[in-house]
Structure 1
Amino acid sequence: MAEVVVFVDHADGAVRKPTLELLTLARRLGDPVAVAVGAGAAATAGVLAEHGAVKVLTHEAAEYADYLVVPKVDALQAAVAAVSPVVVLVSSSAEGKEVAARLALRIGSGVITDAVDVEAGEQGPVATQSVFAAGFTTESRVSKGVAVITVKPNSAAVEAAAAASTVEELAVTFSEQATGTKVTARTPRESTGRPELTEAAVVVSGGRGVGGAESFAVIEALADSLGAAVGASRAAVDAGWYPHTAQVGQTGKSVSPQLYIASGISGAIQHRAGMQTSKTIVAVNKDAEAPIFDLVDYGVVGDLFDVVPQLTEEIKTRKG
């Protein structure tokens, strides 16, 4: 069976959920070969095997932490040369898309970004995308070289499928460009205890209707009752009510959770572009004509300060 390279996103050996989703998709296309690099790469092997990786290629070197992006591209290029896969799958983070684009250029292939599904096709893997601010759904395939595809988090349910996996050291020769951009300092991000926004299965967002920074406590309370991430519209972020890292939209982060709850958000195209691929969308807005209601699965016309606290209490009650 054809082999599929999956680039592993991990933190010191702890594999992130989007990688496990990629392995689920990869099994549709062939035998998954996972590529894990950086500190703790070898420690990922067990989890990757549990989710279907028939082979795990690892390489640990200081360059992956000390320099930006290029060392990872060097490693993936080495993996493609060693494996000759039918497709390379990468998670659609900002870094993942840059790695994918650089890899495709190096190996003379086409690249497809932000896929929401990948299936086997007669002429190669077929990627489904939601394009033009999620106004259209397209199916595309790479017509030249090894397909390189980035996939949005939450595009597939994680399914364990244990495989008899082997672990091999990947031979990587770093290019001259690998040391071009050096990391000079790191500042740990303050933890909120909530899921990462782009990876969360549930996202609760607030917009202009929240009215102020202090009022975001209502949004946070609902999010915490659901174990959700907190998002914000561009209007709320521009007003300084919530951090830019939480912005959902065309100029912010793109999310595709199982459940998206929008409170006090009108539904401008800028915001819709970042969340319209969510599986189930719920909106609370006191303006019955708000554009957000055009795409929701469930809509509540009402004041969010009346509706959201009641919803939060009901969730807490049902959770017992």
Structure 2
Amino acid sequence: METKQLATLVVVEHDNQSLSVDTLKAFNATSKITDDGATLPVSALLIGHQCSAVLDALKRVQGVSQIIVIDAAEYQHPLAENLSALIAEVGKAYSHILAPASTFGKNLLPRVAALLDVGQLSDVVAIESLDTVIRPIYAGNALARVRSNDAIKIMTARSSAFDLVAMSDSPVVENVITLETTIVAEHSEFISQQKVKSSRPELPAASVVVSGGRGLGSKENFALVEQLADKLGGAIGASRAAVDAGFVSNDLQVGQTGKIVAPQLYIAIGISGAIQHLAGMKDSKVIVAINSDPDAPIFQVADYGLVGDLFEIMPELLEKV
């Protein structure tokens, strides 16, 4: 497969109103894709419907040389089945295609890779050269250096490994191309979306995350986590065990099979620290753990640990905060 240009295409995640934080971090990752020290030209692919607000934000992203806009009613609700075919069509002209390693990116890019008959570099945490990246394996216990010989490098960037891209106060991207290409999904259709609405910050964007585990014992006791998060202006997270027990919905799960976060402060309450959970939060700047078991694995990664009964500690902590 021949590529037409040495350049990067970033698939933009959005809700037709605003850019996702994960996408802003993916843009930062593109600055590491260099050829003889020079960053490759970066194009942003915006697919949606009535998404002018997102376009306005994209124009302020530093480092973007071109924005490709496809605005059509068919893309009001993103479906991987037709989006992937469209991305593959546009992306075949690029040497690198990149998206955040969010649910959005994980749903789309493997399909794009299959359509282009290339492999995928998943959950990339560092980019060393045009063809070599670093990605975690074994639930983050080891890092693998992976080289791709494919003509098109398709990768998802782990958001916790990259900072937010710099944005200007005024538009800096002048090259905007509008395409009329639309591909209708023949075998799937959008029915409905169930999304938890909360005044709390989203997990990937929060600077403070308070997570609860099985140690809380019940859905009612999980209110202790919510109260602390509200006092600290933070987001709520949970371990797989807490989600499986029905304490909270699965969109709050932090870990290998949930969301990967790296806030300034991560507080783990009643979480033992299974390796799958640690994989989702161990890059946090400061980790605080509260657990009754002094041998709990969570204490091995915690900066501050408090051993004791959380039902005695939490009311006192809430009072003092």
**Shorter-normalised TM-score: what interval?**
0.7 to 0.9
Which of 2, 8, 25 in structure 2 is aligned with 1:21? 25
1:83-112 superposed Cα distances (whole Å, 9 cap, x missing partner): x32311111122311211111111222211
Unaligned stretches of 5+ residues in structure 1: 316-320
Aligned match of 1:74: 85
Aligned match of 2:115: 106
Matches within 5 A, 1:222-241: 222-241=228-247
Give the CA deviation at 1:299. 1.9
Identity, in percent, stands at 37
Give the CA deviation at 1:2. 4.0
Which of 36, 41, 52 in structure 1 is aligned with 2:51? 41
Cα contact 1:233–1:271 (8 A) shared by 2: yes
Give the CA deviation at 1:43. 3.1
* Residue 249 (str. 1) matches residue 245 (str. 2): no
Q: How has the CA–CA distance of structure 1 residues 91 and 68 changed in structure 2, closer, same or farther, with 3 Å as cutoff?
A: same
Q: Measure, in 2, the Cα distance between the counterparts of 1:161 and 1:242.
A: 35
Q: Secondary structure at the match of 1:105?
A: helix
Cα contact 1:39–1:61 (8 A) shared by 2: yes
Q: How has the CA–CA distance of structure 1 residues 179 and 154 changed in structure 2, closer, same or farther, with 3 Å as cutoff?
A: same
Give the CA deviation at 1:161. 4.8
Matches within 5 A, 1:161-240: 161-162=167-168, 163-174=172-183, 178-184=185-191, 186-240=192-246
Q: Measure, in 2, the Cα distance between the counterparts of 1:218 and 1:45.
A: 40
Give the CA deviation at 1:73. 1.2
Q: Measure, in 2, the Cα distance between the counterparts of 1:286 and 1:299.
A: 10
- Provide the TM-score with structure 2 as the length reference: 0.86
Give the CA deviation at 1:134. 1.2
Q: How has the CA–CA distance of structure 1 residues 95 and 18 changed in structure 2, closer, same or farther, with 3 Å as cutoff?
A: closer
- Provide the TM-score with structure 1 as the length reference: 0.86
Unaligned stretches of 5+ residues in structure 2: 34-39
Moved over 6 A (4+): none
How much is the aligned-residue C-alpha RMSD, in angstroms? 2.4
* Residue 115 (str. 1) matches residue 124 (str. 2): yes
1:109-135 superposed Cα distances (whole Å, 9 cap, x missing partner): 22111122334x1xx143222221111
Aligned match of 1:31: 41
Q: Measure, in 2, the Cα distance between the counterparts of 1:144 and 1:127.
A: 13
Q: Secondary structure at the match of 1:44?
A: helix
Q: Secondary structure at the match of 2:160?
A: coil
* Residue 272 (str. 1) matches residue 266 (str. 2): no
Aligned match of 2:134: 128
